[in-house]
Amino acid sequence: MKRVKKAIIPAAGLGTRFLPATKAMPKEMLPIVDKPTIQYIVEEAVASGIEDIIIVTGRNKRSIEDHFDLNHELESSLREQRKDGLLKMVEDIAHLADIHYVRQKQALGLGHAVWCARKFIGQEPFAVLLGDMIVDSRVPCLKQLLAVYEEKQAPVVAVDSVEWSEVGKYGVIDGDPLSERLFRVKRFVEKPVADPPSNMAIIGRYVLDPFMFPILESLPAGIGGEIQLTDALQHWTQRHPIYAHLIQGKLYDIGDKMGFLKATVELACKDDTLRVPFRSFLREMAAEGE
C-alpha cells in the first residue's frame, strides 16, 4: 500500500468574481483574518501528512511563490526589532512543506490543471485540494479522506450536503450509502441545471490514482469548453470504484463574496486575540441595525 505524500493545489484561476481586488492580486492571496486563503489549504495538507506540494499557477501569480519563500530583508528587520513572535511566524511559513510550482499556460479547466502536475506526481497516489473551499474541523478534511483511501485503496472525494437551491453551483454525486458518511459513487454530475441526483456537493478535496492522468489527457472538453475533473471521475467509475466521504466540519465556500465574508467573520470570532473585541463590535452593529 502506497502512502499519499504528494498534493496538487490548482491556483491558476483568474478570480473574476472578486474583481477589482484580483486585477493585480491572485485570489488565493486574499486574506481571511490574517492569512491568505492558500495558506489555509497548505496548512491542511501538511496537517494531513502531505510532504510535497505542487501549486499549479498561471500568469500574475508570482506573489504566491513569494509568500512561501524566505524574505531575508523582512526577517532581518524583525530580528533587529526583536519581534520574535512575528519572526517565527514568517520563518515557519517558508518551512511549511516542500513546495514546487508548475504553470498552466492555458486556462483549460480544473482537469487540465491537475494534468499539468503529472510529471511531479509520477506513479504515486496523490491528493488535490482546491483553494475555493476551507473546512474548519477538528480532524483536517484531507486527513479524513486519507483514512478512507487507506481502507478502500481506491479514489475518494469529499462531499458535503448543501441547500437544494445551491446544488447548481457544484458538482454532485449519485451514490449508494455504505455507512453514515461513506458512499460508493455511481455517477458524477457537474453543476446540474435540473433534476440533480442528490445535494451531496463535491467540495474540492480528492485522493486520486495516477491512472487518472491518461484519462485527463484524452478527455474532450466538457462544460464551459474546459477539461472537467468531474468528467474524468465519471469515466473512472465505469470500470473502477470511487468513494465519497461526507466530511465532518464546517465548510466555507470562499469562491464567492458571501462565503468569503462568512469565513472571515466566523474565523475572526474564533481568533484568540480578536474574539472578544470583534464579537462586541458585531453586537454593537446588530443593535444599531434594530
Q: Report whether 51 contacts 6 (CB < 8 A).
A: yes
- pLDDT tens for 265-283 read 999 999 999 999 999 999 9
State yes or no: pLDDT of 1 exceeds 70.
no
Pairing of strands 52-57, 98-103: parallel
Task: Provide the residue ranges of all domains of the chain, joining segments of one domain with +.
Answer: 6-255, 257-290
State yes or no: pLDDT of 200 exceeds 90.
yes
Handedness of CA 106, 112, 114, 117 (dihedral sign): negative
Torsion (CA) 175, 177, 181, 182 in degrees, nearest 10: -70
pLDDT of residue 61: 85
- pLDDT tens for 44-86 read 999 999 999 999 998 888 899 999 998 999 999 999 999 999 9
- The pLDDT of 203-211, averaged and rounded, is 93
- The pLDDT of 281-289, averaged and rounded, is 87
Amino acid letter, 213: F
**Predicted model pTM:** 0.91
Choice among 7-11, 192-196, 272-276 with the minimum mean pLDDT: 192-196
In degrees and rounded to multiples of 5, residue 196 shows phi and psi of -65, 145
Q: Report whether 114 contacts 229 (CB < 8 A).
A: yes
- The pLDDT of 31-42, averaged and rounded, is 94
- The pLDDT of 131-146, averaged and rounded, is 94
Burial of 11 (0-12, 13-18, 19+ CB in 10 A): buried
Q: What is the mean pLDDT of the chain?
A: 90
All three cell numbers of 231: 468528467
- The CATH code of domain 6-255 reads 3.90.550.10
Rounded Cα distance, 168 and 12, in Å: 23
